[in-house]
């Protein structure tokens, strides 16, 4: 996996998932929370931006472990 995710890499990771599966951002390994993903993607300066749309809850410990944040 490249250090900088591209739209193609993201699409390949998501293509086999249930399209009704909610998606969250995992933020900050020192204070791990989940955040909602904003519905709009904005493209500027040759980059796609997906905004955080507010905090949901603490990140499940198993997810932090899978991300090697422990």
**pLDDT tens for each residue of 18-45:** 999 999 999 988 889 999 999 999 999 9
Contact 53, 42 (CB under 8 A): no
Question: CB under 8 Å to 2, separation ≥6 — which residues?
Answer: 9
For the record, the structure tokens of 10 come out as 């993201």
For the chain, the structural domain boundaries read: 22-66
Q: Hey, which residues does 34 pair with through a beta bridge?
A: 26, 57
User: Average pLDDT, stretch 1-26?
Assistant: 88
Query: Model pTM?
Result: 0.78
Q: Length of the chain, please?
A: 70
């Amino acid at each position: 996996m490249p250090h900088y995710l591209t739209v193609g890499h993201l699409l390949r990771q998501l293509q086999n998932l249930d399209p009704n599966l909610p998606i969250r951002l995992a933020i900050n390994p020192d204070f791990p929370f989940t955040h909602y993903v904003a519905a709009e993607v904005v493209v500027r300066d040759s980059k796609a931006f997906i905004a955080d749309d507010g905090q949901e809850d603490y990140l499940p410990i198993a997810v932090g472990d899978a991300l090697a944040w422990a």
